[in-house]
Structure 1
Amino acid sequence: MSVIEDSEKHSCCSSVFACVFLTFCYVASLYVWGSKLNRDHPSVIKRRFFSVTCIMLLAPFYTNYFLYEETLSRGDLLEQLGIRTSGLFAASIVPLFLTVILFLGPLTMHFLSGTWKLYAEPLYWISSWQDLMWVRNHFMAPLSEEWVFRACMIPLLLQCLKPMSAVFMGPLLFGIAHFHHMFERMKTGFNLQTALMISSFQFTYTSLFGAYSAYLFVRTGHLVAPLLAHMFCNHMGFPNFGEVTQYPPMHRVLIICSFLLGFSLWCMLLSPLTDPDIYDNRLHWET
């Protein structure tokens, strides 16, 4: 092995290790208080907001330390983190629209059940922002996770991996980071087998979503693209396919067709609607 190859291998290992350590710090920040209260207790939520915010503030400096001069020569730190104005409008609209298409089935269910009318009620939004659990699930969790796992990690991985490799490797850490919920489930009464089964399922779909989110980040070069998609997905939740049977026969057909149409359109539009040229992205994606 040549000196250059050995140096590249070492630098790649340091980038990957930096991401692993940042994952550890993010999860550890949730437990630094050592509280025995449930994760949904207001005091626990507030403390975790504070500790995660601290990690968010420190993470960019940590990332900057591990970024190569060659990487920064292609774009400064803010650009590497997906904070830029060029292509911002498109990045705020198009990826979210793409994600909405993917959820065409659940959205059809919301329409048929009348749930969508709730969103037109001002009191719904006022009460939601007063609910700490809602703020955590819909705002703080997506913001902190996208900032740490996408904005601060993906640039490090791209230093030694091809874009698509980084897209699939980074989300594994994102999925693993959600395994800490297993211990919280056990504290609430779940046995080990059940808690592990639920967490394994959560690991699977969070890793898949993480890959989609990382793909949006790399293709658009904007943090806002995966952030808004993440917020929308957290709001919708994982599709409840069993709920389809509760609708009348004709509605079931419509819902099933909506699921199939939404997924088909999403597959067809994924690449063209995330074309880096739309977002003036010359930073992360190799054309």
Structure 2
Amino acid sequence: MGVRLEGLFPAALLPLLLTMILFLGPLLQLSMDCSWDLAAALKVALAPQAWARCLTDMRWLRNQVIAPLTEELVFRACMLPMLAPCTGLGPAVFTCPLFFGVAHFHHVIEQLRFRQGSVGSIFLSAAFQFSYTAVFGAYTAFLFIRTGHLIGPVLCHSFCNYMGFPAVCAALEHPQRCPLLLGYALGVGLFLFLLQPLTEPRLYSSLPLCLLLDRAGESATPLCS
């Protein structure tokens, strides 16, 4: 289930670093639009009072702690090891995220109940959310298989919940559009370039899912090498 101490430090650091590289454009955009300088922002972020407010905010706890932990535990740590021996790792990576995407459809019920838009716009929003949550689910499933740890997907999930979907339209209309779009492109390019090296299985010791497939008599999969 990816809960182990061996290789814990790289499993916590490297997948999060990889995800932050992907969000290079949005992070640059956030820094441009923030009125605080870096020193002031770090002072506020590290202040005990700020963390105390976060830990007493149920919405923050849900988005940054509870949802990432429980969803990754269910859809990655529990579901992937059960699917992989039956379907192989590749199909399992793309099957689990479908369940993960459908699990977010409860937002449709909330929006319909509180009439937060027309029926068509609500379902269009749900379809869009299903699409990007499925893509994100495939990414964290890939991380789980390659690293053999749960901590990386949980931290990446929490980070992405904080960042939200990249505001590409706002970036296109931004006063500093050119360097911002360059940051977006550079982030995506570096992410694709570093995806395999930073998730190299040898950095994280043994891989439970690959060992599970070996015992089931499956052939070696490129995801594990």
TM-score, normalisation: structure 1: 0.68
Aligned equivalents of 2:60, 2:161: Cα separation in 1: 10
Judged with a 3 Å threshold, the aligned counterparts in structure 2 of structure 1 residues 129 and 153 are, in CA distance, closer, same or farther, namely same
User: Match for residue 4 of structure 2?
Assistant: 84
Shift of 1:243: 1.9
Structure with max Cα Rg: 1
Segments of structure 2 that go 5 or more residues without pairing to the other structure are: 211-223
Higher relative contact order (CA 8 A, sep 6+): 2
The SS at the match of 2:209 is: coil
Shift of 1:211: 0.3
Whether 1:253 and 2:195 are equivalent positions in the alignment is no
Structure 1 stretch displaced more, 189-198 or 121-130: 121-130
Give the AA of the match of 2:195.
L
Give the AA of the match of 2:177.
R
Contact 1:186 / 1:192 at 8 angstroms: preserved in 2?
yes
Whether 1:280 and 2:205 are equivalent positions in the alignment is yes
Shift of 1:112: 1.3
Identity percentage over the alignment?
43
Give the AA of the match of 2:7.
G
Aligned equivalents of 1:105, 1:224: Cα separation in 2: 25
User: Match for residue 226 of structure 1?
Assistant: 153
Give the AA of the match of 2:60.
W
- For residues 185-200 of structure 1, the aligned pairs below 5 Å read 185-189=111-115, 190-200=117-127
User: Match for residue 45 of structure 1?
Assistant: none
Shift of 1:119: 4.9
User: Match for residue 162 of structure 2?
Assistant: 235
Judged with a 3 Å threshold, the aligned counterparts in structure 2 of structure 1 residues 244 and 124 are, in CA distance, closer, same or farther, namely farther
Whether 1:120 and 2:40 are equivalent positions in the alignment is no
Whether 1:139 and 2:62 are equivalent positions in the alignment is no
Segments of structure 1 that go 5 or more residues without pairing to the other structure are: 1-80
User: Match for residue 208 of structure 1?
Assistant: 135
Q: Deviations over 1:112-144 (max 9, x none)?
A: 122665453124333222211111111111111
Contact 1:118 / 1:124 at 8 angstroms: preserved in 2?
no
Give the AA of the match of 2:201.
P
Aligned equivalents of 2:68, 2:208: Cα separation in 1: 23
RMSD over aligned CA atoms reads 1.5
Aligned equivalents of 2:56, 2:42: Cα separation in 1: 16
Aligned equivalents of 2:198, 2:133: Cα separation in 1: 22
Shift of 1:89: 1.0
Shift of 1:245: 4.5
TM-score, normalisation: structure 2: 0.86
Contact 1:138 / 1:235 at 8 angstroms: preserved in 2?
yes
Aligned equivalents of 1:209, 1:183: Cα separation in 2: 22
Shift of 1:281: 2.5
Give the AA of the match of 1:280.
S
The SS at the match of 1:159 is: helix
Shift of 1:244: 1.8
Judged with a 3 Å threshold, the aligned counterparts in structure 2 of structure 1 residues 120 and 246 are, in CA distance, closer, same or farther, namely farther
The SS at the match of 1:271 is: helix
Structure 1 stretch displaced more, 182-191 or 149-158: 182-191
